[in-house]
Structure 1
């Protein structure tokens, strides 16, 4: 008789319930990703692996991801979200690890965005135009002209964009993005188009890098999957499967699967968790490999901290 993960003394893969973050630039209707959000307010982000996300499958049902930190080898290293901007997001910048730690934070914030939906003309801002200085940025904030200093990049479905710490950035409306980032919510807001929200100019101007490596990343065909991005803090791969297809998927590091299309069973000895679009299944580190089986045509991404 096959033993369960619990009997083997390991934590089985488990699915998390998204946590919805209200934002002034968000939407009320997040369909087809989510039928309901539990609020009538504008929702900008669905946190899929946030510390407050609740387990909704298996023996750990009802626990928060934060409460499982010890069993998972410490704080989960990646914060994965879906972003739903209905208006422009504020112009922001994030510190790197050293800058964040000097300010008393655990770590900085490097991130990437995978474009799941994009209307015609959708764009994001990634970095400053050539020759722009921090002094120019400071002056443009006061003058209300900061948008003119940004490098705006058109985006389409399937684009992957890298946003390293120190990059001045913003997201325009008309997109749905899958964001994978270091587990940190440290954000310095530089400019907000006149909206009455707090700015963090002193902190933000200190961490701006006028030259970064932010930009689009070309996908790479691998053995059975597509590598979307490989960086110091995360590797993101996409898997596309046919009806009733089964395969073994390795996961070298701490990470999760995120459903994009269809339903996929994530199977380990004696346990199974269903992966659905817009939700994450966390794969505890002791599972170096799992079996995945698609009920119908399906797609998911593997997000791993190397």
Structure 2
């Protein structure tokens, strides 16, 4: 059922990043991010592993809702931000940047059906876009052909689960899709822009001896021996490159030759006006339009473009590499 709210037009707004401690992270994320510019999100001494760009608790940095958190603004203006066809009043996507100094756990995410079985609203399908990589960067996405559930269970118990994983080299610009039910792992060597369903469910299968909780039985229940996970080839169009387009999200790179109008951002095959996010993977940009102050987008800055939004012009201030993420609305989530 579509959400009901005032169809007020909202200007785009910049979202402050939230810095999330992780045991496998770094002490310093510069030059990618300078956490010291922000007061929220880190205790002194904690390593940083993730930078959340659209988390529910991320603060709005510009416009009339400056200082409020994203979840509250969406709850106040659901139709304007999400669009009239959104099935729920909450943020559909969690977008983050992952910095792995050590190996993450070998893990799996449940699909919507399994998540709902245990009282959660949805599962987690995600994708990783490599913003940068070292020559030996790797991730694991799925199980090798022929691996059985008995082998997976044995691998968890005896510490050889990595031997069953499908390992992929990662180069800058790669897009890797990881659908729910895929056994996967992120290893050091790459910086990944992750777009996912807005869900925090992770079932850890193996964690290299760290003293963190494992979820072995649930992870085995969630695991699919065969999934769609793997590298996705880009699809080039005259006005954009589609990096991935699946049931929950679409991720694209948009060329900006000096400047680009807001009307040109949506693709011709999109069903209608909807929420999108613009991320400056490199370089910087400026948004200008009637009725709102100009918005400066720094490198690695992210702007929310509401579904019922003000018209604007996006200007490349130098070296801009623009990534656009937009949600899809499956019939049942």
Q: TM class by shorter-chain length? A: over 0.9
Residues 74-125 of structure 1 show CA distances to partners (whole Å, capped at 9, x for unaligned) of: 2111100000000111001001111111111011100000001111111000
Equivalent position of 1:155 in the other structure: 170
The answer to whether structure 1 residue 280 and structure 2 residue 294 are counterparts is no
Equivalent position of 1:3 in the other structure: none
Aligned equivalents of 1:18, 1:174: Cα separation in 2? 22
Unaligned 5+ runs, structure 2: 1-6, 37-41, 80-88, 267-272, 329-333
Residue 268 of structure 1 deviates from its aligned partner by 3.8
Equivalent position of 2:286 in the other structure: 265
Tell me, yes or no, if the aligned pair for 1:76 and 1:254 is still in contact at 8 Å. no
TM-score, scaled to structure 2 = 0.86
Instruction: Pick the aligned partner of 2:56 from 51, 55, 61.
Output: 51
Residues 234-276 of structure 1 show CA distances to partners (whole Å, capped at 9, x for unaligned) of: 000112334x434443344222111111211233432232222
Aligned equivalents of 2:287, 2:78: Cα separation in 1? 18
Tell me, yes or no, if the aligned pair for 1:116 and 1:157 is still in contact at 8 Å. yes
Residues 1-30 of structure 1 show CA distances to partners (whole Å, capped at 9, x for unaligned) of: xxxxxxx94221111111111001000111
Aligned equivalents of 1:256, 1:169: Cα separation in 2? 26
Greater displacement, 120-129 / 274-283: 274-283
Residues 281-303 of structure 1 show CA distances to partners (whole Å, capped at 9, x for unaligned) of: 11111138642111223111110
Residues 157-207 of structure 1 show CA distances to partners (whole Å, capped at 9, x for unaligned) of: 000000000000000101100000000011100001111111001111101
Aligned equivalents of 1:9, 1:75: Cα separation in 2? 17
The aligned runs of 1:118-267 (5 Å cut-off) are: 118-242=133-257, 244-248=258-262, 249-251=264-266, 252-267=273-288
Tell me, yes or no, if the aligned pair for 2:259 and 2:313 is still in contact at 8 Å. no
Three-state SS of the structure 1 residue aligned to 2:50 is strand
Aligned equivalents of 2:312, 2:113: Cα separation in 1? 36
Aligned equivalents of 2:8, 2:196: Cα separation in 1? 30
Aligned equivalents of 2:193, 2:311: Cα separation in 1? 24
- Report the RMSD for the aligned CA atoms in angstroms: 1.6
Residues 24-82 of structure 1 show CA distances to partners (whole Å, capped at 9, x for unaligned) of: 10001111111235543100000000000000111111000011122134211110000
Residue 230 of structure 1 deviates from its aligned partner by 0.5
Aligned equivalents of 2:302, 2:319: Cα separation in 1? 18
TM-score, scaled to structure 1 = 0.93
Unaligned 5+ runs, structure 1: 1-7
Equivalent position of 1:35 in the other structure: 34
Equivalent position of 2:9 in the other structure: 10
Give the count of matched residue pairs.
298
